[in-house]
Amino acid sequence: MTGLNFLLRDSLLVASVNNFAIVDYQPDKAGTDGYSDLGFRKVYTPGLSTINRYNVDGSFDGIFISAGLGDANITVASGLTLGPDGLVYINDQGANSVKKYDVSGNFQGYFLNGTTPDTPEEVVIGQDGTNDYSLYVSSLTGDGVKRYDFETGTLLDHIAFIPGTSTPLSAALMEFDRDGNLYIGGVFSTNQVIKYNPDTKLAETFIASDIAQLIPSGIAFDKVGNLYNGTFSGPTFGLPPTTIAQYSPTGQRLDVNFVDNSSNELDISSRVRLFDLNDDGATEFYVSNFGGSSIMKYLGPNTNTPGASEGAYISDSISGGSLSNPGGLISIPGEAGTKINFTPIQSDGNLGSLTYKIGNTSTVSLDQQVPNLTNALFDNLIGFYRLANAQGAVIDINDANGNGSIEDLLNPGDIGYASSALGQYKTDVLLRLGAEGDTNKNTSAAQFGDVLINGGEYYAPFVIANGGNLLEPGDTLAEGIAKFLDINSQNTAATVDNFWTHEVAYFSFGVANPDGVEHLRSYGNNVFGFEDLPGNLGVSDFDFNDAVFQIIFA
């Protein structure tokens, strides 16, 4: 059987830049005294940067990449990200390159060698509407943002100018929202946040300069789409205290800063991240404190006192090691590829609800190819969706209850539950099973590789009966989900007249199903099967073998 490994993000990588300044920007000196035509002069010292590794408790776990000037070193560290292939991609500002490493820190070659935008600051990887991956690199010195095909390295697009102008774009931090749009922090010649649509290639101003942070640095999104933005300014530069601003999903700045930093413990924020590293379901806020050479920790948006300081999470005195001017900050799997333990926390006998909480021990793989068990006339799509709690609630991302909020909860059975649940499915765990008896159409879990998720999250399975019928040649399974939501967003139940062709979603919580019937059965041995026929019309065979998957504990 082919297994699908879920890997816990259980280590932190932090770029120790060890250079207080990378460039000096003096537009009045453009073209003179060593300044570029745009007014930039590089002032860093190469060969001092390291990439440090830390455990989730903040303790130092060694040097991931050592200082030096060789191919395997990062001469001037900056942004880093984890690729869908399990490799770590790191910008080298001193070499205008993007380098690749495995999770043990072994050099795996170049993605771009001397051909990135000038002085590459951030690197991110995202998918477009066809689920193809692109790698994006931003330039601190006026070369904009360049987008490359992740498989071939071919240049796909160049966001060269500030939207609506002919002014070259100096770009710092980048981050994706939940819809796959890319947000770019424009700096130096402009202070604004730009929104880029990977499908249309349209770039537009999202946060205008009059409400943007001074030198916007670090972008993060919470579960409901609020944007958090730091600033590469602070007391060290003789400027007001460093703050973390918060903006609504439509780009309006909120009256109260998320982090007001009245104690001045934060001095220049180079990165902001939302992580759940404590396996408790509570997302917390982490900031690379560039001037203070530490990683600061704050209570997250979903807590009683959001933005409250918890002090330094990583610093030399607390963690050990040596951290100087921290930049990029990401979480990755453990060196040995620690697998996640799916703990069933609710399973009502043979039929009923099933929820998994992601822990941080043991190993597990999800295998949908249980021999001779899946036997369906329907063409079904099966996946996992994220829950807000163990009882099956989901965040109301579509404001189904019409109260103007997209951050309250919908419980199984509430109006709009299906569309919100399917809007939060795990994009890299989507399978096709049954396929009207054509096993060649069944998805092989091997194609997904390892699936990365944070600890403390809740997931439950779903099936879309007849969902495969929505797929046309060349369609991705994700397009099947999108088409289903277009035609049956309310998850209307099947009838006697249309159940052979009607697409309907069934969840592992019976009360969430439009027929009010349980559709999940346990075969024992962590093998589960969905029933794809409606249970209230007298047509179901109740064989529960229409989409069978297995959780294997090792």
Lowest mean pLDDT among 37-51, 221-235, 449-463: 449-463
Q: Please tell me the distance from the alpha carbon of residue 512 to that of residue 6, in angstroms, as a whole number.
A: 26
* Residues facing residue 7 across a β-bridge: 339, 452
Residue 247 to residues 205, 251, 259, 264, Cα–Cα distance (Å): 14, 5, 13, 22
Domain ranges for the chain = 4-333, 342-553
What mean pLDDT is predicted for residues 47-70? 95
Question: CB-hemisphere CA count at 13 Å for 344?
Answer: 19
Name residue 504's beta-bridge partners.
465
Q: Give 514's pLDDT tier (boundaries 50, 70, 90).
A: confident
Query: In the numeric block, which tokens belong to residue 72?
Result: 């395997």
| Per-residue model confidence as pLDDT tens digits over 358-405 | 443 333 333 333 333 334 456 777 778 888 887 888 999 888 888 887
Q: Which CATH architecture has domain 4-333?
A: 6 Propeller (2.120)
Kindly state the percentage of the chain with pLDDT values over 70: 76
The predicted-structure confidence for 146-190, as pLDDT tens digits, reads as follows 999 999 999 999 999 999 999 999 999 999 987 889 999 999 888
Provide the terminal-to-terminal Cα distance of the chain, rounded to the nearest Å.
14
Q: What phi and psi values does residue 361 have, to the nearest 5 degrees?
A: -135, 170
pLDDT higher for 62 or 424? 62
Which DSSP string corresponds to 396-465? Answer: -TT-TT-SS-SSSEE-TTSTTHHHHHHTTEEEEEEEEE-GGG-GGGSPPGGGG--EEE-TT-EEEEEEEE
Per the model's pLDDT, the better-predicted residue between 140 and 276 turns out to be 140
What pLDDT score was predicted for residue 36? 94
On average, the pLDDT of the chain sits at 81
Is the pLDDT at 546 greater than 60, yes or no?
Answer: no
Using DSSP's 3-state secondary structure scheme, residue 27 falls into helix
The 10s digit of each residue's pLDDT in 64-75 is: 999 999 999 999
Give residue 450's pLDDT: 52
Mean pLDDT of 34-41: 94
Q: What torsion, rounded to 10 degrees, do the Cα atoms 370, 373, 379, 383 define? A: -40
pLDDT digits (tens, 9 = 90+) for 427-471: 766 777 655 445 555 544 444 445 555 555 677 778 888 888 888
State yes or no: pLDDT of 129 exceeds 50: yes
Q: Which residue has the higher pLDDT, 311 or 56?
A: 311
pLDDT band at 285 (very low <50, low <70, confident <90, very high): very high
pLDDT the model gives residue 151: 93
Residue 409: is it exposed, middle or buried by C-beta count within 10 angstroms (0-12/13-18/19+)? middle
Q: What pLDDT, on a 0 to 100 scale, did the predictor assign at position 529?
A: 62
The residues pairing with 330 across neighbouring beta strands, listed in sequence order, are 13
- The span from the CA of 173 to the CA of 271, in Å, is 8
Give the sign of the dihedral formed by CA 532, CA 536, CA 539, CA 544: positive
Instruction: Look at residue 469 in the predicted model and tell me its pLDDT.
Output: 80
Residues 405-416: pLDDT tens digits?
777 899 988 999
**Residues written for the chain:** 554
pLDDT of 219 = 94
pLDDT of residue 265: 92
For residue 340, the one-letter residue type is I
